[in-house]
Structure 1
């Protein structure tokens, strides 16, 4: 009877060996949760920046690295100024160089006009968009004709030699007439006469092989861009002209400069 009692007490004893691995597992999980929590709170800002960077890159925008590159020390000599400020400074320098170029060219042409007694036939004007050399038609063409006079080739050569010093500017040669209709075997209208005159004078300029034809264009305006009153002989004479315009690449706030040659 006593033997049976001892056997029953042995069967009621439970096996607790599973508690060891269970406690180890719980300890590991607790440690993992502590680490994750610590990372999520301490580096939340960094995770946000990384998330934003990935999102921006995938969207094709500017990432965090690009943003950081534009927010460096503003006094840094290499990346010190914002790009817009650098562009503004460079543009100002280019405008200044352009102004100096055109003023120098204008001075040379005015000197040529003075030395050759051409004040009644040529003039120059420097404004916000261009330097304009205005040449009276009587200095270049016979009346009602577009063939350049032989003596006018000397003038064209002188102008072309001065233009070659400034090869980076676009040149527009434009022809203008008065409002008196023209009817002859060559031209049916002032449109055609003005266009032919501009083209023929441009061809003479481009005999200078140092000039780039890609920089040149010719256009005829007919009677539709007058500079004087067509109701008088004097006004019509002023309107019959060829203009050689050296075009600015950068608009300037400099006021128009028109100094007549003396």
Structure 2
């Protein structure tokens, strides 16, 4: 009796373990291609997203496909850049419009400017006449004089009419002069006034004054102090300055010329000046 050998049926199974590294390799390749594409439009945000994508790809393989498209940020960046450029352009235009508006508001017509200049000239002429009349009335012709130019009316006062030699305290009659000038200026409150002290080139160095700078400055301040005792004038429009011997009106070569250089000048300044006249004056020098 023949024996039948039973063969057990064995089902063959294909080994699929190779799919795991293959899937990992595909994931890494996909990440690489995304990185290369993203490098065309690089910015800081994109690097952050790229770094995050790499972390996910290396950690769990399949997560990178769930990430938002990195390339989309390139479009967003271009859009933001364009929006910023449009915003900058708009802001520049607005600023330009504001500047033009301000220029239009500040700009004064030539006719209006000429009218203001004429009014000032008339007021300066009137003030000069009053000061000249005061000088003549009080016998001060040898000690005071006035002259007017395009920018100011200047009252020049000899130092001998104001101070004792090498001193800065006003004489009593000098106080009367300062009070009189301040009173006349009450009628012209819109002009700035500068009181300037000047000396000759003789050096001075004593217990009171270290130099002619000190002497000229203190003399100007003392004269101004008396003027500002008048409470009807605005102190904000007044100032004092000392020039020492550096703005002479004559050579310091004679006694008479040195006396001319020792002086105090009260300058009433124009508010409006015709630029055409100033250019003409410069050209003639």
Partner of 2:210: 188
Partner residue of 1:234 out of 256, 259, 274 = 256
Equivalent residue pairs, number: 186
Q: Which structure shows the bigger proportion of residues in helix conformation?
A: 2
Map 1:63-102 → 2, pairs under 5 A: 87-102=109-124
> Offset of 1:89 from its aligned partner?
1.2
Partner of 2:223: 201
Partner of 1:78: none
How far apart are the structure 1 equivalents of 2:168 and 2:131? 24
Deviation string, structure 1 residues 88-128 (Cα, Å, up to 9, x no partner): 11111110111011110001001111111111000001001
Partner residue of 1:167 out of 166, 189, 199 = 189
How far apart are the structure 2 equivalents of 1:189 and 1:215? 28
2:93 corresponds to 1:59: yes
- In structure 2, relative to structure 1, the CA distance for the partners of 1:113 and 1:56 (3 Å cut) is same
- In structure 2, relative to structure 1, the CA distance for the partners of 1:250 and 1:237 (3 Å cut) is same
Q: Could you tell me whether the CA contact under 8 Å between 1:56 and 1:62 is conserved in 2? A: no
Partner of 1:221: 243
Deviation string, structure 1 residues 222-247 (Cα, Å, up to 9, x no partner): 00000011000000000000000001
RMSD, matched Cα:
2.5
- In structure 2, relative to structure 1, the CA distance for the partners of 1:185 and 1:57 (3 Å cut) is closer
Deviation string, structure 1 residues 119-172 (Cα, Å, up to 9, x no partner): 100000100110000000001011100001112111111111111110010000
Map 1:145-156 → 2, pairs under 5 A: 145-156=167-178
Task: Indicate the SS of the match to 1:93.
Answer: helix
How far apart are the structure 2 equivalents of 1:120 and 1:174? 19
TM-score (structure 2 length as normaliser): 0.61
Deviation string, structure 1 residues 182-213 (Cα, Å, up to 9, x no partner): 12210010000000000000000001101100
> Offset of 1:57 from its aligned partner?
9.1
How far apart are the structure 2 equivalents of 1:242 and 1:120? 14
- In structure 2, relative to structure 1, the CA distance for the partners of 1:216 and 1:84 (3 Å cut) is closer
> Offset of 1:59 from its aligned partner?
2.6
How far apart are the structure 2 equivalents of 1:167 and 1:141? 28
Q: Which runs of 5+ in 1 are unaligned?
A: 1-54, 67-81, 257-262
How far apart are the structure 2 equivalents of 1:183 and 1:57? 61
- In structure 2, relative to structure 1, the CA distance for the partners of 1:58 and 1:205 (3 Å cut) is closer
TM-score (structure 1 length as normaliser): 0.66
- In structure 2, relative to structure 1, the CA distance for the partners of 1:234 and 1:94 (3 Å cut) is same
Q: Which has the higher contact order (CA 8 A, sep 6+)?
A: 1
How far apart are the structure 1 equivalents of 2:193 and 2:93? 44
Partner of 2:77: none
2:142 corresponds to 1:120: yes
